[in-house]
């Protein structure tokens, strides 16, 4: 058997020997001909070891030119390894600006179910952080819509409602209701609670108040109203201003004494400045703590969506990467499927040359 005419082989030619059966060796390692090299790599990678371990395994037994590069290229293109490998580092957090006016952008979600089998429909104004809470017996649109009507009769119709993409918010009845009122629906990224953080953060003190009432043997519905009064009158940790003052331009009276004043409260600039400072500080801290890295995904990349454990296996048919213009977050789409941020997205290498076949892209 002749030697391939390449520089790599020529440099190690003095190390090569052959057996009586015509098998070429480099030391104790078998030299694999080009026609069998990929087959040898596939055998070594049957159990989907990582790049370094596969290279170590294969170099113990065989040799051929550019063996390390061929092993690396094979594993990088392995869909199974991409699906179960280490997750991408999270992207740096992005901040969103405060709306121009109160009750124009409202975040909504459900708390529950409660032990009574009831739910709480929670709406939080993005500008003031003023919460509204309604008790509902189901999450159906027919139950939710009258409660939203009640909120809107007090505060007016918002421009935008932000929710997750679950029922009833993904249903036709809800969509028709918003369209009739001229409200734009926006959806947070699945499995990314930070996308609906305005309402998610409120759930923590809300849940604590309900659990406290239960532990102390007090009616939770009565305690809910007391909690809302105090929460609305307490300076918010981000704006530094009570939600009620930003929404109503006045100080609401609670059990604690308050000085009566005819002066209109205007603390909007203070709230904007405080929010900007707090958001920037939180963003820097979170990015450092989470070891974030800006994603190098590009629009049009073919990627895998990594599912949650309770879902079915990772979708190995792939998705097209696109920017989600609704919340300025990277996401992917494939017909009606929407996946979370790039930390749960992995680029699939181009296994078909410079262009993917149209049946995969489409």
Per-residue pLDDT tens over the stretch 79-110: 788 777 666 666 666 667 889 999 999 999 99
> With a cut of 70, which residues of the chain have pLDDT below it?
1-8, 85-95, 190-194, 261-264, 285-287, 290-291, 305-344, 348-362
3-state secondary structure the chain: CCCCCCHHHHHCHHHEEECCCCCEEECCEEECCHHHHHHHHHHHCCCCCCHHHHHHHHHHHEECCCHHHHHHHHHHCCHHHHHHCCCCCCCCCCCCCCCCCCCCEEEEEEECCCCCCCEEEEEEECCCCCEEEEEECCCCHHHHHHHHHHHHHHHCCCCEEEECCCCCCCCHHHHHHHHHHCCEEEECCCCCHHHHHHHHHHHHHHHHHHHHHHHCCCCHHHHHHHHHHHHHHCCCCCCCCCHHHHHHCCCCCCCCCCCCCCCCCCCHHHHHHHHHHHHHHHHHHHHHHCCCCCCCCCCCCEEEECCCCCCCCCEEEEEEEEEECCCCEEEEEECCEEECCHHHEEECCCCCCCCCCHHHHC
CATH of domain 10-84: 1.10.340.70
| pTM, to two decimals | 0.68
CATH of domain 105-235: 3.30.420.10
Domain residue limits, the chain: 10-84, 105-235
What was the pLDDT predicted at 282? 75
Per-residue pLDDT tens over the stretch 330-358: 454 444 444 445 666 777 665 444 443 33
């Amino acid at each position: 058997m002749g030697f391939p005419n390449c520089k790599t082989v020529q440099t190690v030619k003095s190390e090569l020997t052959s057996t009586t059966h015509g098998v070429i060796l480099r030391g104790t390692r078998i030299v694999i001909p080009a026609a069998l090299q990929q087959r040898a790599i596939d055998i070594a990678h049957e159990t989907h070891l990582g790049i370094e371990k596969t290279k170590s395994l294969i170099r113990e037994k065989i040799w051929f030119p550019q063996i390390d590069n061929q092993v690396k290229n094979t594993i990088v293109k392995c869909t199974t390894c991409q699906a179960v490998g280490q997750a991408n580092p999270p992207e740096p957090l992005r901040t969103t600006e405060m709306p121009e006016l109160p009750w124009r952008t409202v975040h909504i979600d459900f708390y529950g179910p409660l032990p009574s089998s009831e739910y709480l429909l929670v709406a939080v104004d993005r500008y003031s952080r003023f919460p509204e809470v309604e008790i509902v017996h189901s999450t159906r649109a027919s139950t939710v819509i009258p409660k939203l009507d009640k909120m809107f009769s007090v505060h007016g119709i918002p421009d935008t409602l932000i929710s997750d993409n679950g029922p009833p918010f993904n249903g036709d009845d809800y969509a028709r209701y918003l369209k009739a009122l001229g409200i734009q629906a926006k959806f947070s990224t699945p499995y990314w609670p930070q996308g609906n953080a305005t309402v998610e953060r409120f759930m923590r003190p809300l849940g604590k108040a309900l659990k406290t009432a239960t532990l102390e043997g007090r009616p939770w519905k009565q305690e809910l109203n007391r909690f809302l009064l105090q929460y609305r009158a307490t300076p918010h940790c981000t704006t530094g201003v009570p939600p009620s003052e930003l929404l109503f331009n006045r100080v609401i009276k609670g059990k604690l004494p308050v000085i009566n004043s005819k002066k209109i409260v205007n603390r909007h600039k203070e709230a904007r400045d405080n929010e900007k400072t707090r958001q920037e500080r939180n963003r820097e801290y979170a990015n450092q703590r989470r070891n974030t890295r800006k994603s190098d995904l590009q629009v049009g990349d073919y990627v895998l969506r990594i599912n949650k454990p309770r879902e079915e296996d990772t979708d190995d048919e792939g998705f097209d990467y696109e920017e989600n213009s609704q919340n300025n977050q990277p996401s992917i789409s494939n017909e009606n499927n929407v996946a979370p941020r790039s930390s749960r997205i992995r680029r699939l290498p181009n296994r078909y040359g410079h262009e993917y076949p149209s049946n995969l892209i489409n």
